[in-house]
Amino acid sequence: MLQVNERRYALPKAPTVVVCVDGCEPDYLAQAVAAGHMPWLKRTLAQGAGLVADCVVPSFTNPNNLSIVTGAPPSVHGICGNYLFDVASGTEVMMNDPKWLLAPTILAALAGAGKKVAVVTAKDKLRRLLGHGMAEGICFSSEKSDQATQEENGITGVNALVGMPVPDVYSAQLSEFVFAAGVKLMQRERPDIMYLSTTDYVQHKHAPGAPEANAFYAMMDSYLAQLDEAGCVIALTADHGMNSKVKMDGTPDVIYLQDWFDRKLGPAAARVILPITDPYVVHHGALGSFATVYLPPGVRASDLATDVQQIRGMETVLAREQAAQRFELPADRIGDLVCVSERFTVIGTSASRHDLSGLDAPLRSHGGVSEQKVPLVVNRPLRGVDSARRFRNFDAFDLALNHAQ
Ligand code: ZN
Ligand code: ZN
């Protein structure tokens, strides 16, 4: 038994694969299964376990990937968005650096216990966080697969192994590469534990049941079937769901929250932070359903919360401490207010600061409570689990290691 962040994990008997499918609203699976595109999943749902779990809010990529690999909420691991506002310097700081990670990962603990660990991510931004603390093992991204070295990534010649060139960062192939690499690694290296994490390029563009979405899930299904055939225990979950965020005319339905605060308190008196912002914003225009706001001295969060709550499309507005408690966030890394918008609405800063010209399809995004439902599928029956309890996506390692082998 290993103890990580106050949870205990049995060492794997069979090779174990935890898959995080970025932006996998459960309906993507339902539509693809119903249309006959996922024969492996259909079988697995009948013979294994098919649960719906809650992800972490903000329903963004990094907080949830880190929750899955630490088995803990952001209040424990510290990664609550892509960006953090450093009040001392007045600057927005990216939280990609492992120095922001406050808790050990299950992956590092397993590597430390002498288990062979492999991690493959689509985008390189997650790689260093996921691989943090792993003294041994393989850890690389599709995006920089051609730059993998023995020292940094524990592997070389990835493209030759996978039989694919480096995919474009905005493509379905970036995720396909993750699965293809997972199958090849399982054949050649036979890791005890593998973590595969994709990107939500397809999900930002295509709704559940769309031909492009079904093609993506059919591709995923065929690779998961191969891992299953190789004798792996597989736990599949998602970092967050995904919803359409548009008005009836198909344009994004945006609350420009910085503009609102500028009118209310004066220009730039408050600071609206969108933790979805990252260097790859073409597919969502940096618009998601979660924002955090730093207020100027003398302005009380509780006085403003009610007003912000009245904005059309706003779902929940909480002061720092309430938000930290409700969403299990590190209170010292969020603003004075946390604002979550509704199912069809996103939050922006100022209208002038969002370039929406890169959106070539009606906006789909995430970040809110409305994207909290995610699949949690295990390809074996679960033992000793009360299936009526609330599950989290960060129960994936617990189910795979403690209840499925
Ligand atoms: Zn994501
Ligand atoms: Zn996304």
Helix (H) or strand (E) holding 399: helix 396-402
**Interval between CA 247 and ligand 2 midpoint (Å):** 19
Cα separation, 286 vs 279, whole angstroms: 9
Give the position of tokens 């689990």.
385
Evaluate whether the domain defined by 2-242+367-403 bears CATH number 3.60.15.10: no
- Residues 220-235, mean pLDDT to the nearest whole number: 98
- Residues 14-35, mean pLDDT to the nearest whole number: 98
Give the residue, 117 or 283, on which the prediction is more confident: 117
**Interval between CA 239 and ligand 1 midpoint (Å):** 5
- Residues 185-208, mean pLDDT to the nearest whole number: 97
Q: Taking a C-beta distance cutoff of 8 angstroms, is the pair 368, 290 a contact?
A: yes
When pLDDT is cut at 50, 70 and 90, the band that residue 106 belongs to is very high
Residue 25 has pLDDT above 70, yes or no: yes
When pLDDT is cut at 50, 70 and 90, the band that residue 96 belongs to is confident
**Interval between CA 187 and ligand 1 midpoint (Å):** 28
**Strand 49-54 relative to strand 373-378, pairing:** antiparallel
pLDDT of residue 281: 58
Residues with CB under 5 A from ligand 1 (ion): 22, 61, 200, 239
**Interval between CA 351 and ligand 2 midpoint (Å):** 20
**Strand 337-341 relative to strand 346-348, pairing:** unpaired
CATH class label, 254-364:
alpha beta
When pLDDT is cut at 50, 70 and 90, the band that residue 240 belongs to is very high
Cβ neighbours for 52, distance < 8 A, ≥ 6 positions apart: 26, 373, 374, 375, 376, 391
Joined together, the tokens standing for residue 400 give 């795979």
Q: Which ligand sits nearest to residue 60's alpha carbon? A: 1
Joined together, the tokens standing for residue 251 give 């344009």
Q: Which ligand sits nearest to residue 62's alpha carbon? A: 1
Count CB neighbours of 146 within 10 A.
13
Q: Taking a C-beta distance cutoff of 8 angstroms, is the pair 77, 103 a contact?
A: yes
Cα separation, 355 vs 353, whole angstroms: 6
**Distances, alpha carbon 61 to alpha carbons 202, 381, 399, in Å:** 14, 28, 21
Tell me if 2-242+367-403 shares its fold with 254-364: no
Give the position of tokens 């792993």.
134
- Residues 351-372, mean pLDDT to the nearest whole number: 90
Count CB neighbours of 275 within 10 A.
26
Q: Which ligand sits nearest to residue 285's alpha carbon? A: 2
**Interval between CA 367 and ligand 2 midpoint (Å):** 8
Residue 280 has pLDDT above 70, yes or no: no
Cβ neighbours for 259, distance < 8 A, ≥ 6 positions apart: 349, 350, 351
**Interval between CA 266 and ligand 1 midpoint (Å):** 34
Q: Which ligand sits nearest to residue 61's alpha carbon? A: 1
Residue 282 has pLDDT above 80, yes or no: no
**Interval between CA 371 and ligand 1 midpoint (Å):** 11
Q: What is the DSSP letter of 252?
A: B
Cα angle at 257 between 254 and 261, to 5 degrees? Answer: 155
Of 273, 281, 240, 267, whose CA–CA distance to 347 is shortest?
273
Q: Which ligand sits nearest to residue 205's alpha carbon? A: 2
Cβ neighbours for 229, distance < 8 A, ≥ 6 positions apart: none
Q: What is the mean pLDDT of the chain?
A: 95
- Comparing 83-92, 254-263, 301-310, the range with the smallest average pLDDT is 83-92
Joined together, the tokens standing for residue 27 give 């309906």
**Interval between CA 60 and ligand 1 midpoint (Å):** 5
- Residues 53-77, mean pLDDT to the nearest whole number: 98
Cα separation, 96 vs 126, whole angstroms: 7
**Interval between CA 119 and ligand 2 midpoint (Å):** 20
- Residues 287-313, mean pLDDT to the nearest whole number: 95
Domains in the chain: boundaries:
2-242+367-403, 254-364
Question: Above pLDDT 70, what percent of the chain?
Answer: 98
When pLDDT is cut at 50, 70 and 90, the band that residue 279 belongs to is low
**Interval between CA 61 and ligand 1 midpoint (Å):** 4
Instruction: State the virtual CA torsion across 306, 373, 128, 89 in degrees, nearest 10.
Output: 0
**Interval between CA 23 and ligand 1 midpoint (Å):** 5
The model carries a pTM of 0.97
123-132 tens-digit pLDDT: 998 999 999 9
Q: Which ligand sits nearest to residue 203's alpha carbon? A: 2
pLDDT of residue 136: 95
Q: Which ligand sits nearest to residue 280's alpha carbon? A: 2
